[in-house]
Amino acid sequence: MTPTASLPTDIPLTQATTILAFKFQGGVLVAGDRRATAGNTVVYDRADKVLEIDRHSIMAIAGVPATAWEMARVLEHSFQFFRRTQLQEMSVDGKVRALSKLLRDNFGFVLQGAGIVVPIFATYDSGSDPAARLYFYDAMGAQFEVTDYAATGSGSPAVRGILYYENNWGKKPLVKLTEDEAVTVALRALDTAAESDTATGGVDRDAKIFPVIKVVSRDGIATLPEKRIAAVFKRSVA
């Protein structure tokens, strides 16, 4: 019998978690903590997991950053190529399926124990029925459109619980929150997840490291300045 090669499973892969997104008054808020881990080791505490793909699309990553960042680059170039050759934006359905295909093509590596990615995709559909659109995926590329919120990564169970509570029993549903209120909810969710999940960075009070938060709306993508996030954290969370 010919011996089969196996992956060196004793080498821990770098992983990036946790990400969340939800619809609010101003569009879709997408947030990600900054921690990347390999096994029980913190590799990096300033990882960017919320990536701009085009003027109205954001891909947030949970999983192996090397694979996810390469997928983001491929998507970005695909969207640019379509826009320049067809003289129009790719449809939202086309964008969503393009990410699905990348995940399906990567599934062979997932089965070998390497390269798993479970992203969130947020965009604004400016077609006949303008609206913010939000999707999450599984490792095989199946996409699921959500009406309210999504979260993936190792800290996502705690995050989903908080978002469910806020959406159903908070002062008002997520979709009616102002931008500052939405930032408050995102910070509380990630900070809570960090209490029970060591792979989630939450808010590092000593080093003053805050999650990356972006908003996608009709006007495009806005990155919230760290000073503003820190002010909201000090006022409403800490």
Q: Which residues are catalytic?
A: 17
From 50, 76, 54, select the one nearest 62 (Cα to Cα). 50
What is the spatial distance between Cα 49 and Cα 29, in angstroms, rounded to a whole number?
14
From 194, 215, 196, select the one nearest 205 (Cα to Cα). 194
Mind giving me the DSSP string for 222-237? EEPPHHHHHHHHHHHT
Please measure the distance between the N-terminal and C-terminal CA atoms of the chain and give it in whole angstroms: 62
What is the spatial distance between Cα 20 and Cα 197, in angstroms, rounded to a whole number?
15
**Which phi and psi (to 5°) does residue 12 adopt?**
-70, 135
